[in-house]
Amino acid sequence: QTDFEPGTFSHTIVDSHIYCGKGERGEWYQENIEKLREKMREASDREKYLDIKEWIEKEAPDEKEGEENFDHIPNLLKQLSREPRERPQMHLPEKSIDELEYKDFQLEAYDPYGGLEFSVAE
């Protein structure tokens, strides 16, 4: 119908912003950036990322009320610690592309981890 050959889907992030919090929290990162980089370089397995997250949560000043999750680093470390799961499969009925409806798209074996919250500056 379209003369397109099926291909592989890929996703690329070309403009990513990672925030380190505001005020004292952001200043803490400035003062500890080399130590953080060293810990990241030394992380030899996924579990080490949780150790780094714990270190930040113990040592860095708390985020102020209303600024929760402005610091993206802890949740990014949690994401890095997660073991990749099997990819889900998308199934479609054998229909004309013009006949496909939303309900025709069936995603199977999707097993996501729980969501992570990231706030952004406005």
Residue extents of the structural domains in the chain? 19-82
pLDDT in tens, 67-105: 999 999 999 999 999 999 999 999 999 999 899 999 999
From residue 4, give the alpha-carbon distance in Å to each of 1, 7, 72.
Answer: 8, 9, 40
What is the share, in percent, of the chain residues with pLDDT greater than 90? 80
> Taking the CA of residue 12 as centre, how many other CA atoms within 13 Å lie in the half-sphere pointing to its CB?
2
CA distance 75 to 73: 6
Decide: pTM greater than 0.85: no
Q: Are 19 and 121 in contact, with CB atoms under 8 Å apart?
A: yes
